[in-house]
Amino acid sequence: MASANALMMFVWQQYDPEAHHDVHLIMYALVAMAIVMCLLMLGLLVAGIFGFVQIKKLIGVLEETRAKIEPVFEKGVEFFDDVSPKVRSITTNVDQMCYTAREKADEVAETVSQVNRTVADINNRTRVQVARVDGMVTEALVTTQEISQTVQRSVRGPVQQIAGIVAGLKTGLETLIARSPFAAPLRKKQPGPGPYDL
């Protein structure tokens, strides 16, 4: 369209107003406009054919895609038809389990409260008994210490005497064994330190 306008401007600039009888220039301009219009129509026709071919290809691709997608959608619908009752059943079961769990939680909470009260009561009683036992143990320890001191005083003298007697007997026995005729072969057979002795 821009080329036709440019051509018309060129023709009108060449037109001489005094030569208004010069119809040839106007005819050339009309012929040029007709040629330009034909070229434009031809271009639009080619563009239309090209667009038609492309749309036809696009329709073919869409049909192919539809043929491939329809079975998937059908399977999806069948799957959802199969799954929906199961999902409802699962939802019902979950609701029942939640209700049961809530009831059990309430029962457990009550039981825990009772156990806490019982433990607190036992704890208080245990403290009282521990205080009593502590007093008794303290008295027993004091008494035991006094008895121990008394026993030590009364036993220490005879024990020291017995320890002296035992030490004397031991020394006497060692001397007797050392001088006996059986001790000489034992002294000769005593082995020296072994390879693993330190």
> Rounded distance, CA 117 to CA 119, Å?
5
Residue in the structure block whose two tokens are 């693993």: 196
Residue type for position 18: E
Total structural domains within the chain: 1
pLDDT score, position 185: 57
User: Is 130 within a domain?
Assistant: yes
pLDDT score, position 66: 87
Give the mean model confidence (pLDDT) for residues 148-177.
78
Q: Report whether pLDDT(49) > 90.
A: yes
pLDDT score, position 4: 55
Q: What is the pTM of this model?
A: 0.30
Q: Report whether pLDDT(64) > 70.
A: yes
User: Is 21 within a domain?
Assistant: yes
User: Is 187 within a domain?
Assistant: no
User: Is 185 within a domain?
Assistant: no
Q: Report whether pLDDT(5) > 80.
A: no
Q: Taking Cα atoms as reference points, which of 159, 136, 156 lies closest to residue 148?
A: 156
pLDDT score, position 11: 55
User: Is 34 within a domain?
Assistant: yes
User: Is 92 within a domain?
Assistant: yes
pLDDT score, position 43: 94
Q: Which two tokens stand for residue 52?
A: 């038609």
Give the mean model confidence (pLDDT) for residues 109-115.
82
Contact residues for 81 (Cβ-Cβ < 8 A; gap 6+):
none
User: Is 100 within a domain?
Assistant: yes
pLDDT (tens digit per residue) in 169-178: 888 888 887 8
Give the mean model confidence (pLDDT) for residues 83-112.
80
Contact of 57 with 28, CB cutoff 8 Å: no
Contact residues for 26 (Cβ-Cβ < 8 A; gap 6+):
11, 15
Domain with 87, as residue range(s), is: 2-150
User: Is 186 within a domain?
Assistant: no
Q: Taking Cα atoms as reference points, which of 24, 3, 25, 23 lies closest to residue 13?
A: 25
> Rounded distance, CA 193 to CA 198, Å?
8
pLDDT score, position 85: 80
Q: Taking Cα atoms as reference points, which of 15, 8, 9 lies closest to residue 29?
A: 8
